[in-house]
Structure 1
Amino acid sequence: MHVPDGFIDLPVSAATGAVAAAAVAVSLRGARRELDERTAPLAGLVAAFIFAVQMLNFPVAAGTSGHLLGGALAAILVGPYTGVLCVSVVLLMQGILFADGGLTALGVNITDMAVVTTAVAYVLFRALVTVLPRTRRSVTVASFAAALVSVPAAALAFTGLYAIGGTSDVPLGKTLTAMVGVHLLIGIGEAAITALTVGAVIAVRPDLVYGARGLTAPLKLRVGGELVDAAPTAAEVPSPRSSRTVWAAGLVTALVLAGFVSFYASADPDGLEKVAADQGIDRKTEEHHTADSPLADYGVSDVSDARISGGLAGVIGVGATIAVGSGVFWAVRRRRTAAGAASVPPETA
């Protein structure tokens, strides 16, 4: 659902740019509370994984494909504020390096694909885990439902923005029906990917899933007539080595998906591209400002073999995303640590 330049006029693009900047600023502050010793190392990996899976367009209808948006997945794994930052980093990398999503439309894309999807998904997810039994299966079910709803919500948000600042005169009723309809189908794929990923992480390290924290109550012991929390056993305390194993497995998976599996992705236009062509939204599409980038359209220039070119571009994208994302989250985590140290009063003699 990457909106190119020319779909939305400049005033609305500028307004959504301000909204996106404000959302990112709020998320930077909120992420300080979310990024601890567990989520901080995972956050950059989540951004890279979303980048990789977004390269895997899957067919959803005749002549139409879809891909992961990632807001629900990021919010559940590392928290809603950090999730907004994860998807924003992905969109920034795609726009600058791969000419995917317009630069003047970056605010539109962040507002729609990062803010709307993350907010809608996490609110629904928290509501569901509150009423469902406190089990790992419930977290997976809630993840599926939250991701499913987040995609048509983003389609609805785009249609609203187009109604305000669209550059072509199109029948908005038909556009809304087409956008929500096709993205509801894409949402099923998003839900499946999100639930499978969250379920896989929960199976090995439930403590790494932000949305699953507090899932099980600590064991209680009666001491002196009072109930107290029992100390965790050695088996219940995850080792740093197991965290590194999960991180390494996630990185290898992202590299394989982007570097190899992406070659077999559907070549059909995605939901927005298909609706835009059918409804005439794309009449005033502008050429991307970085169309001559050596990585434009997810291929390496001067590499003639399509498989190698696409695979190299995917690997470079994963590496760039995890580097930039990890740098951002390291800086936010460092500021949290510095703020915490500053709040501790000095010892008095």
Structure 2
Amino acid sequence: MAAVLSVYLDLALGLVVTFLLLSLLVSGINEAVVRLLSIRSKFLWAYLRDTMDGAGPHGSWLPTRVVDVFRTMPFLRDPRPAHEARPAPASAGEVPETGTGASMINLLYERVREIDHGKQGRTSIAEIPPARFAVAVMELAAANGDVEGLLARLKQMGSPLYGHLKGVWESAQGDLDRFRKGVESWFDGEMERLSMLYKRYAKWVLAVLGVAVTLLFSMDGLEYAKTLLRDDAFRASVTAVAGSGQGAYDELKARCTGAGDPVTCVTETLSEPALVKLMGQALVSVSLPADGEPEVRWNGGAWWDRVSTPSHWPGFVLTSVALLFGAPFWWDVLRRIAGLRSRR
């Protein structure tokens, strides 16, 4: 009974570790693409443009369809203001009286650009602390006389921010300190909503990356589980032979038929994990021989045969779905199976 439990425990650990490693790879690729294309910064400033200046000539700046996350947001439209290396001026600029060329975004960026560094001529700010946003609003109010003057200018401009700030100002009942805290609380809630929207779109990106990684490595989860069980059975056969169990010799003989040295065959078979065997069938594989330099092989033909074989598709689907749970989930599962305690 203990031996059976050990086999299934090895199977569970092998699958969990594999899904964890592939999930980390997917997360790493996603983070690299996000940083390279400044996706988080673009999401923030797209929201700010919609909230402060209204929809642009092409509609909302924020992506409204999943395809916009892959096409419009990274490449076609950049909502970020131009980077300015100088610190913010001592006094805030007044909100323009008309909507012609008026941009609340530029006025806001003027107040927060101390925390900025340029990236391809655009701002790289991906997060504005709610307290700093509230202070920026108070500075703009002071530049326009008072909060009532700021609200009048925003209404004249047709800025969507007018409705939000008017509600906060009425709730504060004319108290500037309560108004500042109200703006801070409102902006904090909006950032949480934006984070939820970003995560919703990020799930689609991670799903596409998960399928790509699964196909790139041709990682058949069902085949991998079968290989793990077969390796355990082979190890049991070798142990039986070592214990003079001649009846278990058949599996060992079948595995090493044609090998010049049976001992070398057994050693290589036992020392090559199932994960290494399957990774060797990726589109590009790397082998580490005992002697010599690492070898990089192109497995285009064998890889296409695996990908185009319908019997492997259920395993590919299983792996892709498993990667959707993410690395934190699989790390938690591994920690629970292994009995590791988390440190806080």
When the two structures are superposed, what TM-score results if normalisation uses the length of structure 2? Answer: 0.31
More relative contact order in 1 or in 2 (CA 8 Å, sep 6+)?
1
When the two structures are superposed, what TM-score results if normalisation uses the length of structure 1? Answer: 0.31
